Structure 1
Amino acid sequence: MTKGLSDRVVMVTGGASGLGLAIARDLMREGATVAIVDIDGACAEREAQALRAAGGRSLGVGADVSKCGELSDAKKQIEDALGPIEGLVNNAGVAVLGAVHDTDDGLWRRVMDVNLDGVFYACRAILPSMQARGRGAIVNIASIAGLVGVPNMAAYCASKGAIIALSRQMAIDYARSGIRVNAIAPGTIGSTRMGAALLGSDLTPEAQARRLAKYPLGRYAEAGEISKAAVFLLSDDASFITGTVLTVDGGMTAY
């Protein structure tokens, strides 16, 4: 079992499905109290109820991360019910296709609102509680798309690169407050809704083979392989790690 997660309250955005839900479940197994925040509030509470049935302590809250007021309300609801939040996973995100010349203003703004502004708003809501307690850990889910160019994904690459830069900057600002901030850059997770949508944009065998050939391990990631990295970075086992970007990508960025 990892150190320091027992009874620690961790908020996971986009936690009702996919990678976020895998993180929530792994946190519960490590003894953390898990607050699932998702735009689908009913689904968030349903998954929280499942965690409670499995012996965990959990709460589901509906909130759109692109709206700072909703995140502030979610933070208050969580802390009133569960206690101070000492861990945060910014996982909520959207992925859309489009190069610069065919990405309209609305599409660009939507990706930035959720992927980047959502991280900023969640961190701004939670940081005062962490500062008051003199400890905390934040994990921002970025992407290999924030480290390398991915064809036809201008807005997504830009948003994930910005998350990486923000994570490093925050690590410097809040280290003296006992708060660690790291990012994870996953490769493609084929089993999630987002991964399936991206892989399904061109279903020809040639396109699928080209994508898979980029991964030296010869396969895509499983959500649990990424979630365990998030749990580690939140735990006291990672107490001397801050400002880093952990790539969990099957060797894709080693080329």
Structure 2
Amino acid sequence: MTQSKKVVIITGATSGIGEAISEAFAKEEATLVLVGRDRDRGQRALEHVEKFDCTAQLVLGDVTDSSFADQVVSSCVERFGKVDVLVNSAGIIRRGNAVDTSDADWRQTFEANVDGLFYFSRAAVRSMRTTGGGSIVNIASNVGLVGCPGLVAYCASKGAVVLMTQAMALDHAKEQITINAVCPGAVDTPMLVSAHHKAVTAEEILQRNIASIPQGRVATPNEIANLTLFLASDGARHITGVAIPIDGGFTAG
């Protein structure tokens, strides 16, 4: 599964699942471009992956800006010669049903979860098609495959990610670019307990999630990272256009 000498761009790389993915690629000696928004978190993430003796660069900016996406990819190609892998992990969650979801929450969810992913994927494909191919892995969600109450904007955005993954995979299959989606369920990250009603405790939220999962536990970020690493590896070159749930059996029920 070695990613040695591969050049990897990871958005949302400075926290949660994205940070675990960054570490997984660092352990495989990939060259990393970490994309995030927060300077302090970004610096900590950069220093962490550098402990594995990999080459890494931190880039701060807004993934919802298409010119930023183009700049990150072009700068990566200029410095490292290519982009082998793009992992789109940046995203936000806004909770609420349709009545409770404001225009701003709806727009922000789609800008972060769909627009940013599209901009980075488009820029990466433009580069990959000139260098013999590559891999794009999109971090979607199992609620992009099945509905979930109280998450109308998030569900809709992750459903868009799944269909975008499939459409782009078909468009670029002959260019040796694989494009797949990882669809986590509940994962032990700060996002799991974020943006809930203040009267609900983090422990209550965790226990509710555990009760809904056939395996009786939430996933670790490292489990999501391992699947991502495989889909970006040479061993997965014949896998494209799939959306793989990793949710302890939740979507099987």
Report the TM-score, using the length of structure 1 for normalisation.
Answer: 0.93
Give yes or no for contact 1:41–1:61 (8 Å, CA) kept in 2. no
Q: 2:231: which partner in 1? A: 233
Matches within 5 A, 1:34-113: 34-113=32-111
- Deviation at residue 114 of structure 1 after TM alignment: 0.3
- CA-based RMSD of the aligned residues comes to 1.8
- Does residue 242 (structure 1) correspond to residue 240 (structure 2)? The answer is yes
Secondary structure at the residue paired with 1:152?
coil
CA change 1:205–1:134 in 2 (3 A) is: closer
Secondary structure at the residue paired with 2:99?
helix
Could you list the per-position Cα deviations for residues 23-79 of structure 1 after superposition, in whole angstroms to 9, with x for gaps in the alignment? 011011112111100112453244223322331111110121111111112222222
Q: How far, CA to CA, are the matches of 1:196 and 1:205 in structure 2?
A: 9
Q: How far, CA to CA, are the matches of 1:99 and 1:6 in structure 2?
A: 45
CA change 1:93–1:204 in 2 (3 A) is: closer
- Deviation at residue 219 of structure 1 after TM alignment: 0.6
Q: How far, CA to CA, are the matches of 1:238 and 1:208 in structure 2?
A: 33
Could you list the per-position Cα deviations for residues 203-231 of structure 1 after superposition, in whole angstroms to 9, with x for gaps in the alignment? 39776544322111111010000000000
Q: What letter corresponds to residue 194 of structure 1 in structure 2? A: M
Give yes or no for contact 1:62–1:74 (8 Å, CA) kept in 2. no
Secondary structure at the residue paired with 1:34?
strand
Q: How far, CA to CA, are the matches of 1:198 and 1:222 in structure 2?
A: 20
CA change 1:206–1:94 in 2 (3 A) is: closer
- Does residue 196 (structure 1) correspond to residue 193 (structure 2)? The answer is yes
Secondary structure at the residue paired with 2:130?
helix
Q: 1:118: which partner in 2? A: 116
- Deviation at residue 200 of structure 1 after TM alignment: 7.4
Secondary structure at the residue paired with 2:192?
helix
Give yes or no for contact 1:185–1:246 (8 Å, CA) kept in 2. yes
Between 195-204 and 222-231, report the one with greater CA deviation. 195-204
Q: How far, CA to CA, are the matches of 1:23 and 1:200 in structure 2?
A: 29
Give yes or no for contact 1:9–1:82 (8 Å, CA) kept in 2. yes
CA change 1:155–1:55 in 2 (3 A) is: same
Q: How far, CA to CA, are the matches of 1:227 and 1:208 in structure 2?
A: 21
Report the TM-score, using the length of structure 2 for normalisation.
Answer: 0.94
Q: 1:186: which partner in 2? A: 184
Unaligned runs of 5+ in 2: none
- Deviation at residue 12 of structure 1 after TM alignment: 0.4
Q: How far, CA to CA, are the matches of 1:204 and 1:43 in structure 2?
A: 22
Aligned residues: 252
Q: 1:21: which partner in 2? A: 19
Q: What letter corresponds to residue 160 of structure 1 in structure 2? A: K
Q: How far, CA to CA, are the matches of 2:163 and 2:84 in structure 1?
A: 22
Q: What letter corresponds to residue 183 of structure 2 in structure 1? A: A
